[in-house]
Amino acid sequence: MRVAFPHMGNAYIPLRALVEHVGVEAVVPERPNRATLELGAKHAPEFVCLPFKITLGDCMNALEKGADTMAMVCGMWACRFGNYGHVQHLILRDMGYEFESLLIGREDPRAVWEKVKRAVGGGAFRRLLGAAAVFRAKAAAVEEIESKARFARPREERRGDTDRIMERYLTRVDEADTIRRVREIRRELREEFSALPLRDDDDVLRVRIVGELYVLLEPSLNFDLVRRLGAVHGVEAQPILSTYRWLLSPLWLDPFLHVSSSRARRVSRAYLPYVLGGEEHMTITGALDAPRQGFDGVIHAYPLTCMPENICRTVLPHISVTRDVPILGLCFDEHTSTVGTNTRLEAFLDMLRSRRGRGRNAKELEAEGVLRA
């Protein structure tokens, strides 16, 4: 059994660990890029959402690399994501690929487990427990690397330092094979980051990025938004979702995640009282909380025709006015150009800078002082 799963940001690191520690070979296709997207878009239905297209391209890459089992998370949700796996596998089979489907969440969990057991033989359950522990450790490590880099990037003295460290450590975490090793790497990482020379200025703009999960986390879809904002524009960008959050929240391994998402549901209820099956609650909450958390503005990133985010778009202008927070909507699809996105981004950042220049009122400063303390 050679299992493959689509990419999403750095999720492949913990996922690969999970699969390999259970004792199954993992096939990880190369990181997706615009070509992957175009490949997927060619075979996908025309107005399906962007994540479908790029993951379809990803699956094709994986199958070309010799995968024989395709894993995908599925479910019975209001949004399209729950049906991705099913439809993608229909398309892939019609294209002539042969493989086995592992639709996690759609098939009976026992059936999935039987398939795995058949592949690895004895001691599968014990191995699964071990694998889950490594998975969690790696997910946490990736999260730490990413968050440290997000903070350091706009403040680094020498351009590119942060990215170099980040790349190196991501590779090391990917290669590490025990939890102890991951822990060591994290310790070294912290040392390295604290030794990194940073500019000590408070002028760095901070923006919150909200929106659809996949567009937020997959650099090839959002033109590397987070990194570019940090390195090129000197802006600290904090996406409201993270790989860690997405991977771990369904597993109940981290109670904090659970508390924060149920708070998000509660807070967003005044705007969207019913679950829509996407990240609408995080989008709304992120925008509502942004001023209080010391963000200068919010960037709302979503794929073309995305349902929950399009619904959010009718609500966000209201929040922008009542909470006095600027919101920029960025729509992504396979035809979006870097140039257009860049122009709008620059105009938005200029606006944020001039807002800052105008001085904030005492209340805002106080709120921030509290936060910093």
Element (H, E) at 97: none
By CB under 8 A, residue 250 contacts other proteins: no
The binding track of 268-287 with respect to ligand SF4, each residue x by CB under 6 A or -, is ----------x---------
- State how far the Cα of 287 lies from the Cα of 240, in Å rounded to an integer: 10
By CB under 6 A, residue 348 contacts ligand SF4: no
Partner whose binding site includes residue 271, from other proteins, ligand SF4, none (CB under 5 to 8 Å by kind): other proteins
- State how far the Cα of 230 lies from the Cα of 161, in Å rounded to an integer: 12
Q: 124-152 and 12-22 are packed helices; what angle lies between their axes, rounded to 10 degrees?
A: 160
Stretch that binds ligand SF4, among 61-69, 108-116, 300-308, 365-373 (CB under 6 A): 300-308
By CB under 6 A, residue 306 contacts ligand SF4: yes
Give the interface size with other proteins as a residue count (CB under 8 A): 45
Query: Residues 102 to 141: which contact other proteins by CB under 8 A?
Result: 106
- State how far the Cα of 82 lies from the Cα of 151, in Å rounded to an integer: 34
Query: Residues 35 to 64: which contact other proteins by CB under 8 A?
Result: 45-49, 52
Handedness of CA 280, 281, 287, 290 (dihedral sign): negative
3-class secondary structure, 51: helix
By CB under 8 A, residue 215 contacts other proteins: no
Q: Which residues of 32-42 are buried (b: 16+ CB within 10 A; e: fewer)?
A: beeebbebbbe
By CB under 8 A, residue 278 contacts other proteins: yes
Partner whose binding site includes residue 357, from ligand SF4, other proteins, none (CB under 5 to 8 Å by kind): none
By CB under 6 A, residue 333 contacts ligand SF4: no
3-class secondary structure, 303: strand
Partner whose binding site includes residue 212, from other proteins, ligand SF4, none (CB under 5 to 8 Å by kind): ligand SF4
- State how far the Cα of 338 lies from the Cα of 232, in Å rounded to an integer: 14
Q: Could you tell me the smallest distance in angstroms from the CB atom of residue 132 to other proteins?
A: 26
Using the rule CB under 6 A, which residue among 81, 169, 244, 295 binds ligand SF4?
81
